[in-house]
Amino acid sequence: MMGRRGALIILEGVDRAGKTTQCKKLVQALQKNGRPAEMMRFPDRTTMIGQMISSYLEKKTNLEDHTVHLLFSANRWELAPLIKKKLQQGVTLVVDRYAFSGVAFTSAKPGFCLEWCRNPDVGLPKPDLVLFLQLSPAEAAKRGQFGVERYETSDFQQTVQHRFNQLMKDPSLNWQVMDATKGMEDLHQEILRQSEAAIAEAESQPIKELWKEGSAVPC
Ligand code: FDM
Ligand code: MG
C-alpha cells in the first residue's frame, strides 16, 4: 500500500510580513503534532545557482532581468526532484516563497507580463496550500526600515503587492489570505489550522503540476 504523501505548503507575502518566523513556527507545531515536516526556502542560496542569485540580490553583481528570472526558476527546478521525493515519503514541506514570488517580483519590472513570467515554472510541484500574509505598506513601514538588498523599496513592493493580487485571482490554486497585522501567535494558530486541513486533503491526492490546467489570469 502506498503511504500517505505530505503536503506542499507555501508562505508568500511582501517583505516584513513575517513569513520566515511563521514558517519556523509552523514546522515546529506540525512536528509536535507528530507530523514529519521540514522547511525550505526560495531562493535557496546554498546551490551554485543560488549563489549567483544571492550575489545579485546583495547588489554585488548585475544580471539582465530575464536572466535572473530564469535563474530563480532554475533554482526551484533543481530542487523539484527533492520536493517530490520528500512529499512521497510523507514529509510535509513548509516553503518560504515559491514561484509566486518569482512572478510577482519580475512582473513588477517594466516590460514583463504575468504570462511570460509564469512560463518557466509551469509544471513544478503544485502547492496544496498557498498562504498569503497580507500586510499594508503602512503597517510594513511601522515594522522598521527596509534592508539593503535589491527590491527592498516601498515603491517596488507596492507594485509587487498588485501583482500578487492578480495571481490570487487564480481559482486553480488554494490561496488563503492571512491578516499579518494580527499578533504573531494568533496568526500562527490560523496558519496551523489551514495547514492541518490541507495536509488531510492532500493525503488522498496525487502530486499535481503547477499552472498545467491553465489559468484564468491574463497578461
Ligand atoms: N525573489 C524571490 C524573486 O525576485 N524571485 C523569486 O523567484 C523568489 C523566490 O528575492 F526580494 C525575491 C524576493 C526577495 C528576494 O527573498 C529574496 P528573501 O526571502 O528575503 O531571501
Ligand atoms: Mg528579504
Kindly write down the DSSP assignment for every residue of 102-148, as one continuous string.
HHHHHHTSTT--HHHHHGGGTTSBPPSEEEEEE--HHHHHHT----S
CA of residue 15 to ligand 2 center, whole Å: 6
pLDDT of residue 215: 58
CA of residue 34 to ligand 1 center, whole Å: 31
164 Cβ inside 6 Å of ligand 1: no
Domain 8-206, second-level architecture: 3-Layer(aba) Sandwich (3.40)
CA of residue 56 to ligand 2 center, whole Å: 13
Q: Which atom of ligand 1 is nearest to the CA of 102?
A: 7
75 Cβ inside 6 Å of ligand 1: no
Which ligand is located closest to the Cα atom of residue 46?
A: 1
57 Cβ inside 6 Å of ligand 1: yes
Q: Which residues of the chain have pLDDT under 50?
A: 1, 218-219
**Phi-psi label, residue 155: left if phi above 0, alpha if psi -120 to 50, beta otherwise:** alpha
pTM score, whole prediction: 0.96
pLDDT digits (tens, 9 = 90+) for 126-156: 999 999 999 987 888 888 888 889 999 989 9
Question: Domain extents for the chain?
Answer: 8-206
